[in-house]
């Protein structure tokens, strides 16, 4: 299992504190080590990160925000974007580590390998779940994940009430792909789903945009059925 290491990063903004002259000379302890109290006083980035309950900028949904870019590209004290790149590299490494050995098919049926959040989220089966839907749910837990786990199911596609379910992601207006994929997996299995989805994407379909644009679960499901038979 992937375990987060706090020493993966030593600053909130991506600045490499260990290589900073102020840190090596003992003038500054570093913003993570001092909980956002560097030697020069108030830090706008540190306040933003701690207020949002993030551990560093790379975990924020607004990354890279205007505040971070302003600091990183400052003519006098900036680093020409190096800290932004470091944040991104750290986050990618953390996500990659979290996804090792994890089933990329989410509880609801979404496929993490093709999700636009794949570079930021380890997936709902990992210890680094930052699913954009889960983050807006109470306690940061997706209702579909909670329900499946409560009933001892590997995914919503194993539920006998799937067709009528409007729980969590399945009840979101304008979003049909998750339930369509769950129905497809129920009928054809995960391997067939991955193959059909990959074929559809290779043929120019945008996931999940093209699927949701059909306007219905049936429409999204029809796309997968079409490419299963291709």
Across 149-182, b (16+ Cβ under 10 Å) vs e yields eeeeeebbbebeebeebebbbbeeeebbbbbbbb
Tokens of 36: 């956002």
Question: How far is residue 139's CA from residue 133's CA, in Å, rounded to a whole number?
Answer: 12
Burial 39-53 (b: 16+ CB within 10 A, else e): eeeebebbebbeeee
Virtual CA dihedral for 183, 218, 142, 107, nearest 10 degrees? 20
Per residue of the chain (230 residues), give pLDDT as tens: 334 444 567 889 998 887 888 877 778 877 888 877 777 777 899 999 989 888 899 888 888 999 999 999 999 888 999 999 999 988 888 888 888 999 999 999 999 999 888 878 888 999 888 887 887 788 878 999 999 999 999 999 999 999 999 999 999 999 999 999 999 999 999 999 999 999 999 999 999 999 999 999 999 999 999 999 87
């Amino acid at each position: 299992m992937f375990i987060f290491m706090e020493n993966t990063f030593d600053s909130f903004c991506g600045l490499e504190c260990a290589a900073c002259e102020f840190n090596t000379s003992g003038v500054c302890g570093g913003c993570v080590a001092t909980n956002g109290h560097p030697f020069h006083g108030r830090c706008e980035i540190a306040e933003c990160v701690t207020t949002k309950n993030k551990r560093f900028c790379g975990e924020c949904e607004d990354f890279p925000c205007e505040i971070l870019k302003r600091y990183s590209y400052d003519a006098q004290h900036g680093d020409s974007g190096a800290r932004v790149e470091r944040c991104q590299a750290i986050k990618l490494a953390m996500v990659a580590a979290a996804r090792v050995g994890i089933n990329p098919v989410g509880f609801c049926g979404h496929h993490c390998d093709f999700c636009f959040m794949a570079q930021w989220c380890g997936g709902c089966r990992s210890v680094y779940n930052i699913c954009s839907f889960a983050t807006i749910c109470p306690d940061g837990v997706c209702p579909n994940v909670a329900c499946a786990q409560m009933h001892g199911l590997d995914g919503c596609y194993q539920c006998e009430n799937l067709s009528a379910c409007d729980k969590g992601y399945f009840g979101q207006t304008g979003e049909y792909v998750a339930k369509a994929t769950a129905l497809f997996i129920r009928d054809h299995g995960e391997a067939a789903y991955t193959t059909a989805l990959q074929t559809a994407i290779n043929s120019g379909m945008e996931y999940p945009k093209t699927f949701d644009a059909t306007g219905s679960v049936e429409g999204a499901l029809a796309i997968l059925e079409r490419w299963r038979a291709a």
